[in-house]
Structure 1
Amino acid sequence: MKQTRSHVVTIVCPIQATETDITMRCRWNRWRMLASFLAPIFFVFLFTLLSFQPPEVEINVRKRTKTKEPQLLTNYTNNPYNISHPYNVNFEELLVMKDSGQDIPLKPLNPHPHKYILNPSNICMDPPPQNESLFVLILIKSAPDNFHLRQTLRMSMEKNPIEQGYVRIVFLMGTSKKELNKNILVENALYGDIVQQNFVDSYQNLTLKTVMGYNWAVDYCSNATHILYKDDDFHFNVKNLLKFLGSQEHPQSLLVGYRVDKAPVMRHPASPHFVKKEEYPNKVYPPYLAGGAYVVSMDVAKRFAVAFPYVKFITVDDSYLGIVAMKLNILPQMNDSLFSFKDCKDLDSKVIACRGYTSHKEIFSAWKMYVKRILAKFYI
């Protein structure tokens, strides 16, 4: 071993060097030889490490599993009203999900857990005569103690026997705080035209009543082509309604009535339209139709029914519908000549609906007329 080592030294190291210099230079040469051998391997390894990426499929999977919420773009990027109200997502994408049978991955902000007490589910089963293209459902918001108004509206249909085949009437209400619920059961047993759920019928619950009406229409009367949505103190003219619908170029996409633009939000607690800032922070509402009477096509009503659970609740029902319409990119159409909020002087000529009772005197007069007609039927 000693001879071999001295032989190597004589080859690599100078003869004149001391023994210490020979030892240091030999060690240095060994390290240089090792470094020159390992350097290429190190650089190849470093280059491979820096250039390595997971396969593209793995990247996509990680991105999809990172967030569980849907990538729904906002509708309000170019919103001319600068109004935001949860959820701020693309509701047209929600409609696509619903139509394709997908679950909408959003928690409902406006659930409607109320159950039916009265449900005339068969009222729309008979089609219009001769399979006509128009079939109208009249949804009437009514208070439990307004029996006389409901009777007046029922009698108005008796005057138009031909048009009755094209129209179905349903009254919408909640439960009464008074002892009227038994009377409602008797009334429905006679006429079978009341839709009632187990929420208290009050001004603050008008949005619940509206949501109930649309849901019922979509679930039990979807074969209707249009809905006339109105209060029970409005008269209506079926002939004018059918004439108007028959003249429309695109009758399947209607939302028409008396439109209100840039309505301010009422912040005074004494106002019946009071809405807290926490519930709706904006200063104005988007365009909406005054809730006394308006016409909506069933296609639009179905879109409303899909959107309701995902639009935050406010108590003002017509303003709430305006918010939902805006989220669905639907602009309500203005036609003040067909809907009158002052009087009914043009009801026989062109008006579809008009406020029929503006005073207690008019209500009492209508009630006397109803009693008189009932007595005449029995020849008393």
Structure 2
Amino acid sequence: MALPPSPPRRPRRLLLLLLLLLLCGASALSLGVLFLAGGAHEALLSRSLPYLLPPSRGRPFSPSSCAPLLPSAEAFLLAPAGDPCALRTPFLLVLVASAPDHAARRQAVRDTWGGVLWAGGRPTRTLFALGVPSEPSQQAALEREAARHGDLLQGRFLDTYANLTLKTLALLGWAATCCPGASFVVKADDDVFLNLPALARHLGALPSPPPPYLGRIHWWVRPNRDPRSRHHLPVPLYPGDAFPPYCSGTAYVLSGEAVPALLGAARHVPLVPLEDVFVGLCARQAGLAPLHLPHMAGSEHFPPDACCYREVLFSVHGVVPAEMVAVWEEVGTHEGACSAWQRALGLVRCKALAWLAA
């Protein structure tokens, strides 16, 4: 008796081929998600910016030329006594933009990351920059705070949102004049948690000369033309359709050599009231390309997590004083906070936590 014919093998082969294609597609999708969520594409894109910038068109700043550049802030009402960088030149000079009525935020920074003198085996120094309060009664409190801590820089301008650019010019002018040997200058807001050890290790491992301008890049943001918005930018002040790439003002890093170059370029840039945009415009004028650091959170808030705050992120924005102290205590008690799988996922895991908490 003849055996029945065996079924054709082609459908089985097609099924195996389809399964293989599905597995390859899923793997490619997973790698793409990791690549995009981790910010690697932005970091690669930012590396092309130096080839797209015009040559520098500003003379470097020197202390002798401070007065013409900063007519309202060349002298400070309050400043650290003596030479704060004479004893130990900081690797990281952290200048925190604050406001007169933010005493609780400043104290939280002092009690946590801003109170350390060494980070990643390198010296650091943290100071606070602010302007003149609208309420005269607040000035006496600021003078007592300055006498107690010796870490306030108070410029001769009214402390308002519109004057944030003056505040940045004042703190950078002070850095170039009074602490020119700092390897890096970090500008941060007073509601930012900075992971100084991780940041110092990253910056210390960069090739020489280091990138001049680093942070979370905002790409081709359009100016706000709504006169009711505090971000309003009239056309005569900035007629362009979009800003060049610039680093988020919540926290960014400048090399020591970039600071005088930025101040020199500032003479040729319109004084737009958006300080991070202004710094980006000065950087473009000076021929300094921003480099994207995906581990800087920008304006995104990450929920408290010992692994993210200790080993992954360099900065976190929107941290209130109580949360800052609690996170600092938790991070300090979790040696080796990340497990192997958490470390492998890194920034992708932290972004997923932020997305779930939003």
The TM-score bracket by the shorter chain reads: 0.5 to 0.7
Q: Would the aligned equivalents of 2:117 and 2:123 in 1 still touch at CA under 8 Å?
A: no
What is the CA–CA distance in structure 1 between the aligned matches of 2:241 and 2:58, rounded to whole Å? 28
What is the CA–CA distance in structure 2 between the aligned matches of 1:166 and 1:157, rounded to whole Å? 13
What is the CA–CA distance in structure 2 between the aligned matches of 1:159 and 1:215, rounded to whole Å? 23
SS at match of 2:59: helix
Residue aligning to 1:188: 146
What is the CA–CA distance in structure 1 between the aligned matches of 2:233 and 2:286, rounded to whole Å? 23
Write the deviation string for residues 236-287 of structure 1: whole angstroms up to 9, x where unpaired.
1221121111110135433111101110000101112111111111121111
- The answer to whether residue 79 in structure 2 is matched with residue 123 in structure 1 is no
Write the deviation string for residues 200-236 of structure 1: whole angstroms up to 9, x where unpaired.
1010000000000110000001111101110000011
Which residue identity is paired with 1:272? R
Which of 282, 285, 292 is equivalent to 1:334? 292
What is the CA–CA distance in structure 1 between the aligned matches of 2:141 and 2:177, rounded to whole Å? 26
Which of 128, 146, 166 is equivalent to 2:123? 166
What is the CA–CA distance in structure 2 between the aligned matches of 1:111 and 1:281, rounded to whole Å? 24
Residue aligning to 2:260: 302
Which residue identity is paired with 2:174? W
Write the deviation string for residues 1-41 of structure 1: whole angstroms up to 9, x where unpaired.
xxxxxxxxxxxxxxxxxxxxxxxxxxxxxxxxxxxxxxxxx
What is the CA–CA distance in structure 2 between the aligned matches of 1:196 and 1:278, rounded to whole Å? 31
Which residue identity is paired with 2:71? H
Identity %: 24
- The answer to whether residue 143 in structure 2 is matched with residue 143 in structure 1 is no
Q: Would the aligned equivalents of 1:252 and 1:299 in 2 still touch at CA under 8 Å?
A: no
| Closer, same or farther: CA 117–189 of 1 in aligned 2, 3 Å | same
Which residue identity is paired with 1:167? T
Q: Would the aligned equivalents of 1:252 and 1:298 in 2 still touch at CA under 8 Å?
A: no
Q: Which runs of 5+ in 2 are unaligned?
A: 1-50, 329-358
Write the deviation string for residues 100-139 of structure 1: whole angstroms up to 9, x where unpaired.
x999xxxx7x6533331012152111125xxxxx611001
Identify the range of structure 1 (230-239 vs 159-168) with the bigger mean alpha-carbon deviation: 159-168
Q: Which runs of 5+ in 1 are unaligned?
A: 1-78, 82-88, 129-133, 371-380
- The answer to whether residue 56 in structure 2 is matched with residue 94 in structure 1 is no
Counterparts of residues 254-269 of structure 1 (less than 5 Å): 254-269=212-227
Which of 294, 298, 318 is equivalent to 2:276? 318
SS at match of 1:258: strand
**Greater C-alpha radius of gyration:** 1
| Closer, same or farther: CA 367–175 of 1 in aligned 2, 3 Å | farther
Q: Would the aligned equivalents of 1:117 and 1:198 in 2 still touch at CA under 8 Å?
A: yes
Greater relative contact order, per chain length (Cα 8 Å cut-off, separation 6+):
2
What is the CA–CA distance in structure 2 between the aligned matches of 1:366 and 1:337, rounded to whole Å? 18
Which residue identity is paired with 1:197? G
Which residue identity is paired with 1:177? S
| Closer, same or farther: CA 161–210 of 1 in aligned 2, 3 Å | closer
Question: TM-score, with normalisation over the residues of structure 1?
Answer: 0.64
What is the CA–CA distance in structure 1 between the aligned matches of 2:95 and 2:191, rounded to whole Å? 13
Q: Would the aligned equivalents of 2:272 and 2:278 in 1 still touch at CA under 8 Å?
A: yes
What is the CA–CA distance in structure 1 between the aligned matches of 2:165 and 2:231, rounded to whole Å? 12
Which of 99, 102, 113 is equivalent to 2:72? 113
TM-superposed deviation, 1:328:
1.2
Residue aligning to 1:155: 111
Write the deviation string for residues 69-91 of structure 1: whole angstroms up to 9, x where unpaired.
xxxxxxxxxx969xxxxxxx974
| Closer, same or farther: CA 168–251 of 1 in aligned 2, 3 Å | farther
Q: Would the aligned equivalents of 1:137 and 1:167 in 2 still touch at CA under 8 Å?
A: yes
| Closer, same or farther: CA 367–182 of 1 in aligned 2, 3 Å | farther
Pairs aligned (count): 268
TM-superposed deviation, 1:311:
1.8
